[in-house]
Amino acid sequence: MIWYVNSKLNSGSSDGRSLQTAFASLQQALDHAKAGDTILIAPGAYDQDLAARVSTARAANIIVGVVGA
Protein backbone atom coordinates (compact mmCIF):
# COMPACT_ATOMS: atom_id res chain seq x y z
CA MET A 1 0.00 0.00 0.00
CA ILE A 2 1.19 3.52 -0.75
CA TRP A 3 0.29 6.31 1.69
CA TYR A 4 0.65 10.00 0.84
CA VAL A 5 1.46 12.95 3.11
CA ASN A 6 1.09 16.60 2.14
CA SER A 7 1.32 19.32 4.80
CA LYS A 8 -0.46 21.76 2.48
CA LEU A 9 -3.70 19.79 2.77
CA ASN A 10 -5.68 20.10 5.96
CA SER A 11 -8.75 17.97 5.47
CA GLY A 12 -10.06 15.96 8.39
CA SER A 13 -11.56 13.46 5.96
CA SER A 14 -8.31 12.56 4.20
CA ASP A 15 -7.62 8.87 3.70
CA GLY A 16 -3.96 9.19 2.61
CA ARG A 17 -4.46 7.06 -0.50
CA SER A 18 -3.69 9.73 -3.11
CA LEU A 19 -2.02 13.14 -3.39
CA GLN A 20 -5.46 14.75 -3.50
CA THR A 21 -6.53 13.01 -0.25
CA ALA A 22 -3.12 12.93 1.46
CA PHE A 23 -2.68 12.99 5.22
CA ALA A 24 -1.47 16.33 6.59
CA SER A 25 1.11 14.71 8.90
CA LEU A 26 3.57 11.87 8.74
CA GLN A 27 2.22 10.53 12.04
CA GLN A 28 -1.19 9.98 10.44
CA ALA A 29 0.45 7.87 7.74
CA LEU A 30 2.46 5.95 10.33
CA ASP A 31 -0.74 5.18 12.21
CA HIS A 32 -2.07 3.40 9.09
CA ALA A 33 1.06 1.93 7.47
CA LYS A 34 2.25 -1.62 7.97
CA ALA A 35 5.55 -3.34 7.19
CA GLY A 36 6.09 -3.42 3.44
CA ASP A 37 4.03 -0.25 2.82
CA THR A 38 5.42 2.95 1.33
CA ILE A 39 4.88 6.50 2.56
CA LEU A 40 5.47 9.30 0.05
CA ILE A 41 5.90 12.79 1.48
CA ALA A 42 5.21 15.91 -0.59
CA PRO A 43 7.64 18.80 -0.11
CA GLY A 44 6.40 21.31 2.45
CA ALA A 45 6.66 22.54 6.02
CA TYR A 46 5.94 19.98 8.72
CA ASP A 47 5.39 20.69 12.43
CA GLN A 48 7.03 17.51 13.64
CA ASP A 49 10.40 15.84 13.96
CA LEU A 50 10.50 14.25 10.51
CA ALA A 51 13.91 12.64 10.99
CA ALA A 52 12.75 10.74 14.09
CA ARG A 53 9.46 9.69 12.48
CA VAL A 54 11.19 8.54 9.29
CA SER A 55 13.61 6.53 11.42
CA THR A 56 10.67 4.94 13.25
CA ALA A 57 9.03 4.06 9.93
CA ARG A 58 12.17 2.51 8.51
CA ALA A 59 12.69 0.46 11.69
CA ALA A 60 9.19 -0.93 11.08
CA ASN A 61 10.14 -1.89 7.49
CA ILE A 62 8.08 0.95 5.99
CA ILE A 63 9.65 2.66 2.98
CA VAL A 64 9.65 6.47 3.12
CA GLY A 65 10.30 8.64 0.09
CA VAL A 66 9.58 12.05 -1.38
CA VAL A 67 6.86 12.57 -3.98
CA GLY A 68 8.46 13.08 -7.37
CA ALA A 69 11.92 11.90 -6.32
Beta-bridge partners for 10: none
**Residue type at position 26:** L
Residue-wise pLDDT tens digits, 7-34: 888 766 789 999 999 999 999 999 999 9
**What's the mean pLDDT when you consider all of the chain?**
91
CB crowding 3-40: b at 16 or more within 10 Å, else e: bbbbbebeeeebebeeeeebbbbbebbbeebeeebebb
Cβ atoms 5, 24 nearer than 8 A: yes
Checking if the pLDDT of 48 tops 80, the result is: no
